[in-house]
Amino acid sequence: MSSILLIAFGAFAASYLLQWSIIKLSYRYNIFIDSHMDDKPQNFHDNATPRAGGIGIMVSMLFLLLTPIGWKLLFSFLLAFLSGIFEDLHRSLQPKVRLILQFVAASSAVILTSSVITYFGFDFTVSYDIGILLSILGIMGMMNAINMIDGFNGLASGMVLLMLIAFGTIAYRVGDSDIVYISIITISSLLAFLIFNFPQGKIFLGDGGSYLLGFIVAVMGIFLASNYMKVSPWFVLAVLIYPSWEVIFSIIRKLLLRRSPLEPDSLHLHMLIYKHFTKSNHLTSLVIVSATSPFMLMPILYANNSTANFLTSLLYIILYTALYRYLYLRYEK
């Protein structure tokens, strides 16, 4: 217990000191600055702000070297982080290069940890090769999903905290100390980040931070579902339901509107809630995280029950879609 507390404190302290330093250095040398004057759909801040909070989180991951699995995952974590931090620094990383980095990161994590989902509940299985491909695509998808919802202070980081709590709790229940350590280290580093990010927004995760966090929770979920029969893959989906459905719904919505799924817009649910309900950056995050938390945390009680987790996910999808339809038809149509 004492070693866990020391690691948690170390990760928190490292992240805190780096967040503070990055804020100071970014303004002094004009690096990592996200201008509030940019005409971007996801621009909801009023001041030029550093977007390199992921650096503090990545450095905190060095504490993983104290765990057996850390040596296998640290390289993958670094690649996931690099796929975004170059964009934060130069804004010039080609999408093709970013996808290659994400693919290599996801592939290395799946191969080095031998974590491949082949059983999807309800007596449905796929071959090992197909499982590898789906696991890699799942990790890459979650990286971009967390990046997509990273639009307001504390939204992406708050959601990831809930995911880490859920996966960490189940890891403790099944006796997987590696996943417990990953959860504790990431939670500690995120709490330090949130001191500066929520509610004032003194620093943002940036692409490096959001890609890294999406990578971490995806790897944790796949590792648990592929190694423990007590953990249903539908439990993993239920915990990750908000960003997962946000991406799927966004693609469907844009295709129906005959727009490119890759084209950013201001019609995501969190943006509609901001524009027509809260009109506050941090309050938007608080409302969404609070409303979504029961759907992400209740599955802890029935992690091995595919039916219950499927129904939980389905209920969330129905409520999300109904709320979106109401807001869109009333205010945007």
Q: Which amino acid is at 89?
A: L
Phi and psi at 40, nearest 5°, equal -120, 145
Q: What tens digit of pLDDT does each residue of 279-315 get?
A: 999 999 999 999 999 999 999 999 999 999 999 999 9
Provide, rounded to the nearest whole percent, the portion of the chain with pLDDT above 70: 94
- Is the preceding peptide bond at 299 cis, omega within 30 degrees of 0? no
Q: Which amino acid is at 238?
A: A
> Would you say how long the chain is, in residues?
333
Q: What is the pLDDT of residue 43?
A: 55
Alpha carbon distance 210, 81 (integer Å): 8
Question: Tell me, what DSSP letter sits at residue 51?
Answer: -
| Residue 265 backbone zone (phi > 0: left; psi -120 to 50: alpha; other: beta) | beta
Paired strand residues for 119: 125
Selection from 115-119, 212-216, 262-266 with the highest mean pLDDT: 212-216
Paired strand residues for 50: 33
pTM above 0.85, yes or no: yes
Contact 194, 80 (CB under 8 A): no
Q: What is the pLDDT of residue 183?
A: 96
Q: What tens digit of pLDDT does each residue of 230-246 get?
A: 999 999 999 999 999 99
Alpha carbon distance 18, 196 (integer Å): 11
Kind plus residue range of the DSSP H or E element containing 253: helix 241-256
Q: Which two tokens stand for residue 169?
A: 């709790």
- Is the preceding peptide bond at 199 cis, omega within 30 degrees of 0? yes
Q: What is the pLDDT of residue 333?
A: 65
